[in-house]
């Protein structure tokens, strides 16, 4: 039987330490053909997220992949302040080369709409690692194109646990709750990977040392990124590897527990903005609610060290 063709993906991203790890994982996997990186303001401002996307591709020698500058602000509210945990350069101070290719001249929303209309319906998947502003604008302004998306896997939200920017809110959905509401209620094929799952995926110092010992460039770079993601020099577990869980789910959904839930997104102006409520009147969404943490970390390491 011939090998299956790689899955064509667009990574919508706001790099971000954990975004960077997810992007490098996707670059290392033979199962993905990356059509482009679209950027969005989130962890840090749009100029820095766009530059970081180009820097990651320059490091990996993959400047054949276009970087497309996306939305600089949420749909209808001020953008969030940059997250200090990602450092001044957005990727923990880890050194990367300057981009060797300029971002595309067209903005991400029309670029993505044209890509979807040009390719057979259902053949482009979106792996979304940041606020959902770009995808919401595609749906609002180019609905015929949006309906051709083969699937969206998005890191976002929290179901049963406390949030990370409020009692019930997770950063990506909180940063642009109106965009989250558009995407969740769109009827597009969507899988959400919330904090309930991503908090179970944390790297140990031994994990980082094993990556470094493997010696491959991608593995060593991810070891550097993981080490920048420990809260202190004495912590033995990193902060959660939120965004790589999107790629890990795409590669091995059998390692996750999925539930079909009906969700409502809070678009208010209080600390509950972006919160998800399970409600029979809400929109049907597939949600990852459990994960085999050791198994997905093993998959991450195996993919990086084989590249």
Q: What is the CA radius of gyration of the chain?
A: 18
Query: Tokens 């991503």 appear where?
Result: 198
Q: Residue 154 to residues 21, 74, 214: CA-CA distances in angstroms? A: 15, 17, 30
Checking phi first, is residue 145 left (phi over 0); if not, alpha (psi -120 to 50) or beta? alpha
CA atoms within 13 A on the CB side of 282: 20
CA atoms within 13 A on the CB side of 246: 32
Distance CA 255, CA 21 (A): 19
Which member of 141, 160, 242, 262 is catalytic? 242
Contact status, residue 44 vs residue 50, Cβ threshold 8 Å: no
Tokens of 120: 């057979």
Helix (H, G, I), strand (E, B) or coil at 72: coil
- 242 is an active site residue: yes
Distance CA 267, CA 252 (A): 32
Tokens of 169: 């809110």
Alpha helices (H) in 122-243, listed in sequence order: 133-141, 143-146, 171-175, 177-184, 195-198, 205-214, 217-227
Contacts of 305 (CB under 8 A, 6+ apart): 211, 214, 216, 219
Contact status, residue 293 vs residue 201, Cβ threshold 8 Å: yes
Distance CA 207, CA 95 (A): 21
Task: Give the catalytic positions in this structure.
Answer: 242
């Amino acid at each position: 039987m011939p090998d299956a063709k790689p899955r064509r993906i667009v990574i919508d991203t706001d790099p971000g330490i954990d975004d960077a790890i997810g992007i490098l994982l996707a670059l290392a996997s033979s199962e993905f053909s990356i059509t482009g990186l679209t950027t969005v303001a989130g962890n840090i401002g749009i100029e820095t997220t766009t530059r970081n996307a180009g820097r990651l591709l320059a490091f990996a020698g993959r400047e054949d992949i276009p970087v497309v500058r996306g939305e600089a602000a949420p749909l209808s509210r001020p953008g969030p302040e940059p997250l200090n945990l990602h450092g001044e350069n957005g990727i923990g101070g880890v050194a990367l080369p300057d981009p060797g290719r300029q971002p595309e001249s067209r903005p991400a929303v029309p670029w993505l709409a044209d890509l979807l209309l040009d390719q057979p319906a259902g053949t482009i998947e979106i792996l979304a690692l940041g606020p959902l502003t770009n995808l919401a604008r595609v749906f609002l302004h180019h609905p015929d194109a949006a309906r051709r998306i083969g699937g969206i896997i998005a890191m976002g939200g929290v179901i049963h646990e406390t949030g990370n920017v409020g009692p019930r809110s997770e950063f990506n959905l909180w940063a642009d709750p109106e965009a989250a509401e558009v995407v969740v209620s769109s009827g597009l094929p969507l899988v959400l990977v919330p904090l309930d799952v991503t908090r179970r995926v944390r790297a140990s110092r031994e994990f980082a040392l094993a990556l470094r010992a493997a010696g491959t460039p991608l593995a060593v770079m991810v070891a550097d990124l993981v080490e920048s993601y420990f809260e202190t020099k004495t912590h033995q577990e990193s902060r959660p590897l939120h965004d790589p869980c999107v790629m890990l789910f795409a590669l091995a959904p059998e390692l996750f527990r999925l539930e079909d839930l009906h969700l409502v997104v809070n678009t208010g102006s209080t600390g509950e903005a972006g919160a998800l409520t399970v409600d029979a009147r809400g929109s049907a969404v597939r949600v990852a609610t459990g994960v085999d943490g050791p198994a997905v970390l093993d998959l991450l390491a195996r993919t990086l060290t084989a590249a």
